[in-house]
Structure 1
Amino acid sequence: MLKIGITGGIGVGKTIVSRMFQVLGVPIYDADTRAKWVMHHNTALRQELEDAFGPATYTDAGALDRAYLAGRVFNHPERLELLNSLVHPHVGNDFNEWAAGHADKPYILKEAALMFESESWRQVDEVIAVYAPLELRIKRLLKRDTHRTEADIKAIIARQLSEEEKMRRAQHIIYNDDQQLIIPQVLALHEQFSKAEV
């Protein structure tokens, strides 16, 4: 079974591209969603997070206090690095368990915004980078995330690995730039991955 990663910065449309693969019957592992699940349900990770960021990391009811945790790591790169170093290994283990349950498929997809930053590209055979120009990404995000300002969006983008670097490291690029149709690009890769010998 081939393991394919799909990544791209905020606003490039990687989730839309992933859904197209899903319609074709490809199992999709959404690393961001699963990370939230693991942070709630993995007892070892819960203890590690409380040790690192304090007992207020979880509410009295046992739920992750995302606002508290965000406040602890925002504008503190070393704390964010610590958070990621605790969470990513557990998500990696979760992915491996999930992937084992889909061994009958020709290939699976792992969608992760921080594929290269988290080193999770090491768990996949090839990576697709979804690309969109900066101006288009900002326009999409202002429409989608009405609570964010253009300055907020640019700050998030500035903290992520550059699109140029992601495209350099990826084996495949899907252009979601409103100039090229996405579906033919997805279908071409689907055909290629479905026939691949691992």
Structure 2
Amino acid sequence: MAKIIGLTGGIGSGKTSIMKHIETLGYKVYYADDAGKKVMQQKEIIEQIVSLLGKDVLDENQDLNRKAIAEIVFSNPEKLKALNEIVHPAVAKDFDNFLKDLKENELVIKESAILFESKANENCDLVILITAPEDIRIQRVMARDNSSFEEVKKRINNQMSDLIKEKKSDYVINNLTLSDSFKEIAKILKKNKTFCC
């Protein structure tokens, strides 16, 4: 069985930049958020989402319009919960398939923005939380996505707070500068390395 390290953080925390760095170090990585996008291209998943949210979430090519979905679910917690109940099991199945190709005791880092919300942390050997002050996170996302302050704030408010995540995590990295965060993550991985690379 592979050793699984969960890596999570709210929007704008910088977790994806840290994951990309981990990947350059030669570790096996799994991006649950990317897997979510991939499973949302499956015909049966599209049908379930359209049934839940309506045909307005489809674009002209009959593919899911992620922006239209976000506008609905981030202002409707019940719809967000129902959407997650469609997508999470499909991502969990995809991750199980990913693990089949790994060696015994191999270390894999699994990135997920909603690691705790999806209860995926229960299958991790340990969890690393990436945090940053909220004002910095908002600035990062506004610059990255060309989003408004209100849009980013709404998304943050729909995520579990860092205070709750900190209590559930084994390590917390306050990501103010990537160079410092890269040093911290390298120490954590070295300490918890089984075999890699």
- Report the TM range for the smaller structure's normalisation: 0.7 to 0.9
Aligned to 2:87: 87
Unaligned runs of at least 5 residues, structure 1: none
Unaligned runs of at least 5 residues, structure 2: none
Q: Distance in 2 between matches of 1:120 and 1:61?
A: 32
Aligned pairs (5 A) from 1:171-190: 171-178=170-177, 181-190=180-189
Q: Structure 1 residues 147-156 or 121-130, which shifts more?
A: 147-156
SS in 1 for 2:193: helix
Aligned to 2:154: 155
Q: Distance in 1 between matches of 2:154 and 2:78?
A: 17
**Cα distance, 1:119 vs. partner?**
1.2
Cα 1:179–1:74 change in 2 (3 A) is closer
Q: Structure 1 residues 54-63 or 107-116, which shifts more?
A: 54-63
Q: Distance in 1 between matches of 2:168 and 2:61?
A: 42
1:99 and 2:99 aligned: yes
SS in 1 for 2:40: helix
Cα 1:156–1:52 change in 2 (3 A) is closer
**Cα distance, 1:55 vs. partner?**
4.7
Cα 1:50–1:136 change in 2 (3 A) is closer
The alignment-based identity, stated in percent, is 30
Q: Distance in 2 between matches of 1:55 and 1:136?
A: 36
Contact 1:128 1:171 in 2 (8 A): yes
SS in 2 for 1:116: coil
Contact 1:7 1:14 in 2 (8 A): yes
SS in 1 for 2:51: helix
Q: Structure 1 residues 114-123 or 173-182, which shifts more?
A: 173-182
- Residue by residue over 1:20-64, the C-alpha shift from the partner in whole angstroms, topping out at 9 and shown as x without a partner, is 2111111211111111110102x4323322332345544574422
SS in 1 for 2:11: coil
**Cα distance, 1:84 vs. partner?**
0.6
Q: Distance in 2 between matches of 1:60 and 1:177?
A: 41
- Residue by residue over 1:131-159, the C-alpha shift from the partner in whole angstroms, topping out at 9 and shown as x without a partner, is 111222223223222x2122222221111
Q: TM-score, normalised by structure 2?
A: 0.87
1:2 and 2:3 aligned: yes
Aligned to 1:108: 108
Cα 1:58–1:151 change in 2 (3 A) is closer
Q: TM-score, normalised by structure 1?
A: 0.87
Cα 1:184–1:104 change in 2 (3 A) is same
Q: Structure 1 residues 56-65 or 70-79, which shifts more?
A: 56-65
